A and B are shown apart, each in its own frame.
Chain A
C-alpha cells in the first residue's frame, strides 16, 4: 500500500487523477477501522491531512463554507457552533474527544453512511457539496450527493472540497438515540430546523439520510409525516418499528425545543 501525502490542493487533485484507486483519508475514523479489521486492502491512501485549502470554515454571502477537513471538535467551537447549532450538537455526539479531534465533515460525506451524524444537520441547512477534480469543479445539493448506503456521486478522480450551508442562526436542534451517550452509531438520528418552514432530516432510518419539509401550519402532523417518510430496517441496533416510533417522538420533542 502506498500513502500519498499531497501538500496542496493542486497536488491532491493531480494525484487523485493519476491514482484513482487511492482512497482519500482525513481522520481515518472509517478508513482505518476497515484496514485494521482487514475488510479493505486499498492499493493506496491519499492522505489529505496536509492540504491546508481543505481546512477551516468561513462566512460567504450569508452562507457558511465548511472545508471538508473541518473536524467535529472545530464544529463544536464558538462562533461556528452558534451559527450552526444542530451541527454542533451532532458533533458532540460523535465518538469521543479523540475521534472528534480527527474526524471530519468531509469524511462523513465521503463515507455517506445512512448513520453519518453530520448529514441530518447539513440537510436541514440546505447543504451543497463542492467537488473538484483536474477536470474542474461542480456543486451538488446534498440530497443528490448521497445516492445509496455508503454510496455517493463522486467520480473516481474527484475529491470533496467542502459544503456550503444556509440557515445560520435559525432555530435548529439535533437528537440521537443510542445505547449510551458516547462512542455509538445512531439507532436513529434527527435534525430539525424551524425557519419559515419546518424541516426535519433523519439518519439510520432508511438507505440514505432523508429530508422532510412542511409548512409552519403543519406542526401537529409533522412528527407522523417524518415517521412515515422513513424506510427503516431491522438490524442489530434496533427494529424498524422502534426506529419509526422513535422518530415520531424525537420530532415532537425537537419541535418543542425549536418553537419555544
Chain B
C-alpha cells in the first residue's frame, strides 16, 4: 500500500511541465530541470526586460517578484516556480501608462546605461509595496542587493523618494 502511494506521488513529482503565471498570464511550459527562471523569462517568453548580470545573485539586475516578493531570477530554477506568480518589469505598466516608479526613474534620471534599471525598479516596487513612506536609510537598505556600475545611487534613491511622494 505504501509502495503504491509512493509510486503515485513520484509520478506527480516528475516535473517537466510547469504552470507559471507571468504578469497575470498563465503559461504551461515544458522545462529542462536546469533552466534558470531568468532564461525561461527571456528565451521562452521573450521578456527580455529582465537582464542577466552576474549569474550568482550578486548584482540584482535579474530581480523579479515571486508571489509579490523580490527575488533574483538567476538563482532560481524555472521548475521551482511551478504554480507561482512572477511579475517582471514588463508587467508594471498598465494600458500604456508607466508605473509611478518607472515614471520617477525617468523624471529623476535614475539611470545612466540602463542595464541595472529593471532590477532597481523591481526592488523599489517591492519596497514601496511593503513600506509606502520609506526614509532615505530604508531606501538605501532596500536597494543594497542591486549594483549600479555607471554612476552611483544618488539619483536612484531620489527616484524612489519621488515615487513615494517625497519632494526631491
Contacts and interface: CB of A to CB of B under 8 A. Distances in A.
B154 interface: no
A98 B56 contact: no
B70 A101 contact: yes
Per DSSP, are chain A's interface residues mostly helix, strand or loop, or mixed?
mixed
A29 interface: yes
Chain A: number of interface residues, binned into ranges: 20 to 34
A126 interface: no
Contacts of A35: 34
Contacts of A33: 56-57, 75
B33 A98 contact: no
Contact of A3 (B33, B55, B69, B127): B33
Task: Sort chain B's interface into a size bin.
Answer: 35 or more
B76 interface: yes
A130 to B, nearest CB: 24
Interface string A25-48: 100110011011100000001010
Contacts of A182: 141, 144-145
A47 B84 CA distance: 14
Interface stretch (A4-12, A167-175, A209-217, A231-239): A4-12
A256 B86 CA distance: 45
A246 B63 CA distance: 35
B56 A36 contact: yes
B76 A3 contact: no
Contacts of A96: 60, 123, 143-146
Chain B facing A: main interface SS: mixed
A28 B144 contact: no
Interface in A96-128: 96-99, 101-102
Most buried by B among A14, A35, A99: A99
Interface string B46-74: 00000000011110100100100111101
A102 B66 CA distance: 10
A99 B82 contact: no
Contacts of B29: none
A5 B6 CA distance: 13
B33 A95 contact: no
A3 B15 contact: yes
Interface of B: 6, 9, 12-13, 15, 33-34, 36, 55-58, 60, 63, 66, 69-72, 74-77, 79-80, 82, 123, 126-127, 141-146
Interface of A: 1-7, 11, 14-15, 25, 28-29, 32-33, 35-37, 45, 47, 49, 73, 92, 95-99, 101-102, 181-183
The 9 A-B residue pairs with the shortest CB-CB distance, nearest first, are A96-B145, A182-B144, A32-B75, A3-B33, A101-B69, A36-B55, A96-B144, A98-B72, A98-B145
26 contacts: A1-B33, A2-B33, A3-B15, A3-B79, A6-B13, A7-B12, A11-B13, A28-B80, A32-B76, A32-B77, A33-B56, A33-B57, A35-B34, A36-B36, A36-B56, A73-B69, A96-B143, A96-B144, A97-B70, A97-B142, A98-B70, A99-B145, A101-B66, A101-B71, A183-B144, A183-B145
